[in-house]
C-alpha cells in the first residue's frame, strides 16, 4: 500500500488522529459496565472524542482517565482536566469521592465509575478511536532481550515487500518515517490506541511494536488485536515489579495463551531457552488448523520449523548463517555479530514470512539494517574497536561479551553500571558477567534515578570482585570504580591498545542520564566519539612532534 504521507495531529502531546467519530459516554458505560454518574446535570449522550491519562494533555471532548497512582490519585487533577475541556471522567469509587472535593460546585461532567478502571481503559480507548488494530495488521514482539533489534529487522522486511509500516518501540515511534522519541517501550493504552488510529489514518497497513511485560501486566495493550505475536527469550529482569521469574513469564504469556484477551492470532516463538519452549507449549491450539499453531525458531539443538546451522563471521563483523525452513534452505546474513543476533534475525524473517513476505525479500532486507545503540560502532580512526550497546541485564552482558571475545584476539574493556529504582537482584550478576568476560571492568553510574549512585555501584562491584582471578580472562586488571560516566568512558578509551575492544554498556540509544528525577543530556555515542577524537588528536600531535621516529622518517602510515 502506498503511503499518503500525511502528518497526524501532533499538537500538544502524543500523536493523535486528526479525525475521530464521537462516541456517546452512555455507550462507553454500557460497553464497560461502568456506572454513569451525571454530575451537575451532564448529558448521558455527551460525546467523547479522545482519551488521556494526563490532565495537562486534555483536549476538548476528551475522557480523562483519573486512575489511582503509587503516590497520588489522578482524580486530584480533575479540575485541570475539566477546565481544559474534558467532557467525561473515568475513575474508581475513591476517585469519585475525590472529585467531590476538587471540582467546582457548578461543574457539569459525565463520570464513569468502575471498581478497577485500568482494566477497562484499553477497551475504552480502542472504542473511542475506532478499534484501529482491527483494521490493520498488528505484530507484537516480546521477550527480555532482542525486542528492538527484531522489530527493526521485521520493519525492514515489511518495507521491502511494499507495506506502509508503523514502528512502536523503545528507541522511537515512527509514523511513515515521522519519528518521535519513546519514553516507554509500550505506550499507555490511550496513547497506543490514538497512535494506531493516526497510523491507520496516514495509510499504514501494518504495525510492528515492542510489547513489554509491564504493558501486558498493566493492561496497556488491552483492546489491541494482534495478528502475530513473537517471543525472543526470557532472562532475569524487572523482578522489582514481577517479584518472580514465573510471574514475569506469565505476563509475557498473555500475548500467546489462546484464552488470554490479548493473545495473538499467530505465534512465532524462539525456543532456544527453557522459557521459550514453555511458551511454545502454551501457544499450541489443540484441534485447530495447522496454520494457527505456533511457528518455532531455533539456533540451538531444539527441533524447530526454522532452524539455524553454524554461523561464520565476516571481516566486517556481519554473520552468515545457513538455515532451513519448511519450504527450503537459505542463508541469513545480518550486519550484527553474535549468536543471539542470529536468533533475532531468524525470528524476524519467520515473522515477516508469517505476515506474507517472501523469504528472499526478507533476507535481502535484513542484511543491511542498523539498529541504534545495539553494538553500534563508533569510529574516529582509532586502531581498536569501540562499541555502544544497550545490554543492561546479566544475560545480555554475558552474551555480548562472549560474542566480542570470539570476534577478536585483543583485550576487552567494559564500562558498566546499573539503573536505579529497578531490579536490585541483577546488579551483582551484571558485575559478575562483566568480570568474567573483560580484562578491564570500569563500574560507573547508569541512570541512578532516585537512588544513591554509590550504593548502586557497590552492588555491581561486589559481584565483579567476587569472581576469582582464575575465572577472569588472562591478564585481567583490578576492577575500577569511576562514578562519573564520561570519565569512566575516557578511562576505558585511554586504556585500549591496537586490536582491543571497548564496550560501553547499558544505555545504548538513550540521550539522557536520570539523576534525582532530572534527566541530564548524555549520549554514550557522543561521549565515546569525543573521547576517541581527543585520543586520536593527541596521538597525531605526538607523531608530529619534532624528534620522534615518525617525524624523522616522514612515516604517517
446 is in an annotated binding site: yes
List of long-range contacts for 69-77, beta carbons under 8 Å, 24+ apart: 73/98, 75/99, 75/102, 76/102, 77/102
Cell of 113: 465509575
Distance between CA atoms of residues 368 and 371, nearest Å: 10
Please name which of 522, 538, 462 lies closest in space to residue 488, comparing C-alpha atoms. 522
506 is in an annotated binding site: yes
Q: Decide: helix, strand or coil at residue 478.
A: coil
144 is in an annotated binding site: yes
167 is in an annotated binding site: no
101 is in an annotated binding site: no
447 is in an annotated binding site: yes
212 is in an annotated binding site: yes
Pick the CATH number of 23-126 from 3.30.1330.10, 3.30.450.20, 3.40.109.10, 3.40.1390.10: 3.40.1390.10
510 is in an annotated binding site: yes
Residue tagged 483492546 (cell numbers): 223
Please name which of 100, 96, 129, 127 lies closest in space to residue 114, comparing C-alpha atoms. 96
118 is in an annotated binding site: no
437 is in an annotated binding site: no
Cell of 365: 532486507
422 is in an annotated binding site: yes
Q: List the beta strands (DSSP E) in 279-411.
A: 295-298, 306-308, 312-313, 319-325, 328-334, 376-377, 385-389
186 is in an annotated binding site: yes
272 is in an annotated binding site: no
91 is in an annotated binding site: no
pLDDT in 10s for each residue of the chain, 557 residues? 333 344 445 455 788 999 999 999 999 999 999 999 999 999 999 999 999 999 999 999 999 999 999 899 999 999 999 999 999 999 999 999 999 999 999 999 999 999 999 999 999 999 999 999 999 999 999 999 999 999 999 999 999 999 999 999 988 898 766 786 666 668 999 999 999 999 999 999 999 999 999 999 999 999 999 999 999 999 866 666 666 989 999 999 999 999 999 999 999 999 999 999 999 999 999 888 888 899 999 999 999 999 999 999 887 778 999 999 999 999 999 998 889 999 999 999 999 999 999 999 999 999 999 899 999 999 999 999 999 999 999 999 999 999 899 888 899 999 999 999 998 999 999 999 999 999 999 999 999 999 999 999 999 999 999 999 999 999 999 999 999 999 999 999 999 999 999 999 999 999 999 999 899 999 999 999 999 999 998 888 887 766 544 433 333 33
**Concatenated DSSP letters of 99-159:** HHHHS-TT--EEEEE-SSTHHHHHHHHHHHTT-GGGSSEEEEEESSS-HHHHHHHHHHHHH
Please name which of 510, 516, 507, 448 lies closest in space to residue 483, comparing C-alpha atoms. 448
Distance between CA atoms of residues 312 and 317, nearest Å: 10
Distance between CA atoms of residues 477 and 283, nearest Å: 47
Distance between CA atoms of residues 383 and 542, nearest Å: 16
- Bridge pairing between strands 178-181 and 376-377: unpaired
Distance between CA atoms of residues 261 and 263, nearest Å: 6
Distance between CA atoms of residues 379 and 386, nearest Å: 7
**Residue range 41-96, pLDDT digits in tens:** 999 999 999 999 999 999 999 999 999 998 999 999 999 999 999 999 999 999 99
Q: Burial code of 479-493, b = ≥16 C-beta within 10 A, e = fewer?
A: bbbbeebbebbbbbb
147 is in an annotated binding site: yes
Reading phi first (left if > 0) and then psi (alpha if -120 to 50, else beta), residue 517 is in left
Phi, psi (deg, nearest 5) at residue 9: -65, 115
Distance between CA atoms of residues 61 and 47, nearest Å: 7
Cell of 370: 542498523
Residue tagged 541483577 (cell numbers): 426
Residue tagged 460546585 (cell numbers): 105
Pick the CATH number of 376-541 from 3.90.190.20, 3.40.50.620, 3.40.50.2300, 3.30.930.10: 3.90.190.20
Please name which of 282, 310, 302, 311 lies closest in space to residue 294, comparing C-alpha atoms. 282
Q: CATH 3.40.1390.10 spans which residues of the chain?
A: 23-126
Phi, psi (deg, nearest 5) at residue 415: -105, 120
146 is in an annotated binding site: yes
Q: CATH 3.40.1190.10 spans which residues of the chain?
A: 130-366
Please name which of 490, 494, 556 lies closest in space to residue 524, comparing C-alpha atoms. 490
Please name which of 204, 528, 240, 217 lies closest in space to residue 387, comparing C-alpha atoms. 528
Q: CATH 3.90.190.20 spans which residues of the chain?
A: 376-541
Pick the CATH number of 130-366 from 1.10.3980.10, 3.40.30.10, 3.40.50.12160, 3.40.1190.10: 3.40.1190.10
449 is in an annotated binding site: yes
**Residue range 278-331, pLDDT digits in tens:** 999 999 998 888 888 999 999 999 999 999 999 998 877 789 999 999 999 999
Cell of 230: 513473537
Please name which of 6, 10, 17 lies closest in space to residue 202, comparing C-alpha atoms. 6
Amino acid at each position: 500500500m502506498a503511503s499518503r504521507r500525511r502528518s497526524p495531529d501532533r499538537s500538544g502531546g502524543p500523536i493523535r488522529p486528526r479525525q475521530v467519530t464521537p462516541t456517546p459516554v452512555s455507550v462507553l458505560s454500557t460497553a464497560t459496565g461502568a456506572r454513569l454518574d451525571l454530575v451537575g446535570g451532564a448529558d448521558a449522550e455527551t460525546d467523547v472524542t479522545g482519551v488521556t491519562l494526563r490532565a495537562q494533555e486534555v483536549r476538548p471532548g476528551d475522557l480523562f482517565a483519573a486512575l489511582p497512582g503509587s503516590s497520588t490519585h489522578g482524580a486530584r487533577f480533575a479540575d485541570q482536566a475539566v477546565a481544559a475541556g474534558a467532557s467525561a471522567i473515568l475513575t474508581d469509587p475513591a476517585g469519585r469521592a475525590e472529585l467531590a472535593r476538587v471540582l467546582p460546585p457548578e461543574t457539569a461532567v459525565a463520570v464513569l465509575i468502575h471498581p478497577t478502571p485500568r482494566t477497562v481503559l484499553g477497551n475504552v480507548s480502542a472504542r473511542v478511536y475506532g478499534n484501529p488494530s482491527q483494521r490493520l495488521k498488528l505484530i507484537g514482539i516480546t521477550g527480555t532481550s532482542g525486542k528492538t533489534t527484531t522489530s527493526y529487522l521485521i520493519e525492514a522486511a515489511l518495507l521491502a515487500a511494499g507495506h506502509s509500516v508503523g514502528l512502536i518501540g523503545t528507541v522511537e515511534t515512527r509514523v511513515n518515517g515521522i519519528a518521535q522519541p519513546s519514553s516507554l517501550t509500550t505506550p499507555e493504552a490511550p496513547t497506543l490506541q490514538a497512535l494506531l488510529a493516526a497510523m491507520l489514518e496516514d495509510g499504514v497497513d501494518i504495525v510492528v511494536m515492542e510489547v513489554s511485560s509491564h504493558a501486558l501486566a498493566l493492561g496497556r495493550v488491552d483492546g489491541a488485536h494482534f495478528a502475530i505475536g513473537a517471543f525472543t527469550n526470557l532472562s532475569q529482569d524487572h523482578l522489582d515489579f514481577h517479584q518472580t521469574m514465573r510471574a514475569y513469564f506469565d505476563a509475557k504469556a498473555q500475548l500467546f495463551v489462546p484464552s488470554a484477551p490479548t493473545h495473538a492470532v499467530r505465534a512465532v516463538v524462539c525456543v532456544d531457552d527453557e522459557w521459550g519452549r514453555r511458551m511454545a507449549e502454551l501457544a499450541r491450539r489443540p484441534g485447530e488448523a495447522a496454520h494457527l499453531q505456533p511457528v518455532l525458531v531455533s539456533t540451538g539443538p531444539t527441533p524447530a520449523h526454522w532452524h539455524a546451522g553454524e554461523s561464520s563471521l565476516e571481516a566486517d563483523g556481519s554473520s552468515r548463517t545457513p538455515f532451513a525452513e519448511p519450504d527450503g534452505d537459505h542463508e541469513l546474513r545480518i550486519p550484527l555479530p553474535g549468536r543471539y543476533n542470529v536468533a533475532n534475525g531468524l525470528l524476524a524473517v519467520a515473522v515477516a514470512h508469517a505476515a506474507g513476505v517472501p523469504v528472499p525479500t526478507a533476507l535481502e532486507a535484513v542484511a543491511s539494517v542498523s539498529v541504534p545503540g545495539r553494538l553500534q560502532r563508533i569510529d574516529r580512526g582509532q586502531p581498536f574497536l569501540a562499541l555502544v550497546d544497550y545490554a543492561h541485564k546479566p544475560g545480555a552482558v554475558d552474551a555480548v561479551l562472549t560474542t566480542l571475545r570470539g570476534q577478536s584476539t585483543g583485550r576487552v574493556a567494559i564500562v558498566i553500571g546499573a539503573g536505579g529504582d529497578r531490579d536490585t537482584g541483577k546488579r551483582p550478576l551484571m558485575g559478575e558477567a562483566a568480570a568474567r568476560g573483560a580484562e578491564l571492568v570500569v563500574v560507573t553510574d547508569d541512570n541512578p534515578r532516585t537512588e544513591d549512585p554509590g550504593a548502586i555501584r557497590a552492588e555491581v562491584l561486589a559481584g565483579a570482585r567476587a569472581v576469582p582471578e582464575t575465572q577472569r580472562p588472562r591478564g585481567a586488571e583490578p576492577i575500577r570504580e569511576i562514578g562519573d560516566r564520561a570519565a569512566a568512558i575516557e578511562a576505558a578509551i585511554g586504556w585500549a591498545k591496537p586490536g582491543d575492544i571497548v564496550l560501553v554498556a547499558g544505555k545504548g540509544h538513550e540521550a539522557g542520564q536520570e539523576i534525582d528525577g532530572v534527566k541530564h543530556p548524555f549520549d554514550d555515542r557522543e561521549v565515546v566519539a569525543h573521547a576517541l577524537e581527543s585520543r586520536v588528536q593527541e596521538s597525531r600531535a605526538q607523531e608530529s612532534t619534532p624528534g620522534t621516529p615518525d617525524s624523522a622518517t616522514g612515516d604517517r602510515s
